[in-house]
Structure 1
Amino acid sequence: MNNSNNSIIPQEAFDWYDEYAHGMMDRRTFMKKLGTLVAVGYSMTVLTSALLPNYALAEQVSFNDPDIIARYQTFASPAGHGEGKGYLVTPANIATNADTKLPVVLVVHENRGLNPYVKDVARRLAKAGFIAFAPDALHPLGGYPGNDDEGRAMQRSLDRGKIQNDFVAAAKFLKAHKNSNGKLGAVGFCFGGYIVNYLAAVDSDLLSAGVPFYGTPAEESLRQNIKAPLMVQLGELDERVNSTWPAYEKDLKALGVQYQMHMYKGAKHGFHNDSTARYDKENAELAWQRTIAFFTQELVGA
């Protein structure tokens, strides 16, 4: 998918979608606001097809790719919901060499469960030589339901503290994988970006590297624990998340944390997600190249 339709959709429509997607606006209000654009000449079909995800467009690496092996895996989460489940993707060559040790990367979804886009991100990482694990926060309710609206409602219904503990448990499970080299990275998007920041802050020894895409920071009282190097990925037009960056950067500097921040010109919140018109191909590919290079630098080796 390309972002050629972005130029014909006004920025306020993307802002409304962001509010709707993050629980600050209900669907009725969102559709009513889109209706005001229809009244001045925009097509509702074009607006909704651009703003709402089409996951058929998001597959970059097939689950049948011969270079990877993808399967589901449960893990214990005693401080969370008791049991978690996620999508584990490994390079295929470890099946023939049981002693292979590789870096491992946790992949954290947005605020709507483990949708096809995030599963594809896990496959991209495995294709690049990492062991990737993408947990589904909605496992206690039966897993991602197949559509984002219902997924968002389900995730909001769960206890946030238990969700966070589930991701801590998932991170520890992955770090202890038999083929892990002992170095754990985490990449996440939106809510998942927040979880990456949280994992870096809640346990100084958990992460070896984190890449939060447009995620808010962990609460201030936890930030003193951050030691892992961070690569912060932000979109220039994402005012809501970007407003939290100055205070976060100030704390990272004061703590001496190794970090880098990339601000992508003209990019919206969600610019890496190639299932909607928020996708910015050029910036998304650059951000992903930087992510892979960062994980390679920080995670490869014993």
Structure 2
Amino acid sequence: MTQKPDPADIPQEVFELYDAYCHGDLSRRAFFSGLSKYAVGGLTVTSLAACVMPDYGKQQTQPGADGLYEETLVYSSPNGAGEMEGYFVRPAGAEQTLPGIVVIHENRGLNPHIRDVTRRAAQAGYVAFAPDALYPLGGYPGTDDEGRAMQATRDRESMVQDFMAAADFLRGHAAVNGKVGCVGFCFGGAVANLMAVRQPWLSAAVPYYGGWPTAEEAADVKVPLQIHLAGLDDRVNGGWPAYKAALDENRAEYEAYIYPGVNHGFHNDTTPRYDAEAAELAWARTVEFFSLHLG
């Protein structure tokens, strides 16, 4: 019988291996090979891997949550793919139109965690819409490993355009009052940053630990930004000082928070990278920011 490690006892190097694997810098074989160094004291490579992989049974809100209306909607893709699909959630029984929020997934498709975040956005009083970039390929396949491999086959710019089209679609939906913001995580954070550059009509954008636009693109940011970064995330944080300087030079409206001692993906409560204190504070700030800019 193998011992399952307590997440608090996982060496930081294991999280870094997982981060490299998640973002395509390590193959699956190299990831498991790297874990073998830490399989000591009764731990096995399998148990270590299982501990850092997502457990979607931990999601905070379940499908069919009370007070929410949910459906799957199709919208037009600008990329020759014909159409896209997304998960649409709003407060049930709303008698007036509401602001909308596009929720942008990580680099593995519309998995159960991002659906959960979409429901949380609706519980906060918004019409939330989460597109699945994997829809043209058959949709999220059921596991993050497969989803990650599938998403890597799609052109990045085409996916950005599909998420931008989702914002346009949401702005025109009968349940939405015309005000739309976006929130994204990892790959989705990078997309949220780009949407703030390319869609100046957006009311707000909230990227979590995503990649950065260029300094030249920062000159085009007219959308209020709230940026969330993990203190231990050297890969993403390395680009922040240059982008911050460009935002400052162009007098962009933004606020940024760096949460010390937490890993990339700290908001995802289905993995041991989750940090409850940082995640709860970041989400409270996100909701307050949307309330300020979307009403």
Class of the TM-score when normalised by the shorter of the 2 chains = over 0.9
Stretches (4+) displaced over 3 A: 39-43
1:171: which partner in 2?
167
* Aligned partner of 2:263 among 250, 262, 268: 268
For structure 2, the residue ranges without an aligned partner over 5 or more in a row are: none
Displacement of 1:219: 3.2
Deviation readout 1:192-249 (Å, 9 max, x if unpaired):
00000010112322x2101100001123443221111111001100110010100110
The answer to whether the 8 Å contact 2:204/2:290 transfers is: yes
Tell me the secondary structure at the aligned position of residue 173 of structure 1. helix
1:47: which partner in 2?
48
The answer to whether the 8 Å contact 2:32/2:45 transfers is: no
1:91: which partner in 2?
91
Tell me the secondary structure at the aligned position of residue 119 of structure 1. helix
For structure 1, the residue ranges without an aligned partner over 5 or more in a row are: none
2:144: which partner in 1?
148
The answer to whether the 8 Å contact 2:88/2:128 transfers is: yes
1:106: which partner in 2?
102
Alpha-carbon distance in 2 for matches of 1:268, 1:81 = 35
Displacement of 1:124: 0.5
Tell me the secondary structure at the aligned position of residue 258 of structure 2. strand
* Aligned partner of 2:273 among 243, 262, 278: 278
1:209: which partner in 2?
204
Alpha-carbon distance in 2 for matches of 1:116, 1:70 = 14
Tell me the secondary structure at the aligned position of residue 225 of structure 1. coil
Deviation readout 1:78-124 (Å, 9 max, x if unpaired):
23622110000011022xx3xx1211000000000000000000000
Alpha-carbon distance in 2 for matches of 1:267, 1:180 = 35
Alpha-carbon distance in 1 for matches of 2:67, 2:90 = 9
Describe the shift of the 1:23–1:89 C-alpha distance in structure 2 as closer, same or farther (beyond 3 A). same
Moved more, 48-57 or 271-280: 48-57
Tell me the secondary structure at the aligned position of residue 79 of structure 1. coil
| C-alpha RMSD over aligned residues | 1.4
Q: Find out whether 1:160 has 2:160 as its counterpart.
A: no
The answer to whether the 8 Å contact 1:197/1:212 transfers is: yes
Deviation readout 1:124-182 (Å, 9 max, x if unpaired):
01111100000000000110000011100100001112111111111100111112121
Deviation readout 1:238-294 (Å, 9 max, x if unpaired):
110010100110111111111111111211000000111000011101110110011
Alpha-carbon distance in 1 for matches of 2:258, 2:165 = 31
How does the TM-score come out when normalised to structure 1?
A: 0.93
Could you tell me which amino acid in structure 1 is paired with residue 294 of structure 2? Answer: L
* Aligned partner of 1:135 among 131, 138, 141: 131
Alpha-carbon distance in 2 for matches of 1:247, 1:8 = 35
How does the TM-score come out when normalised to structure 2?
A: 0.95
Alignment of 1:1-302 (within 5 A): 5-39=6-40, 42-58=43-59, 60-79=60-79, 81-94=81-94, 97=95, 100-205=96-201, 207-300=202-295
Q: Kindly tell me the number of residue pairs found equivalent between the two proteins.
A: 291
Tell me the secondary structure at the aligned position of residue 72 of structure 2. strand
Tell me which of the two structures has the higher relative contact order, counting C-alpha pairs closer than 8 angstroms and 6 or more residues apart.
1
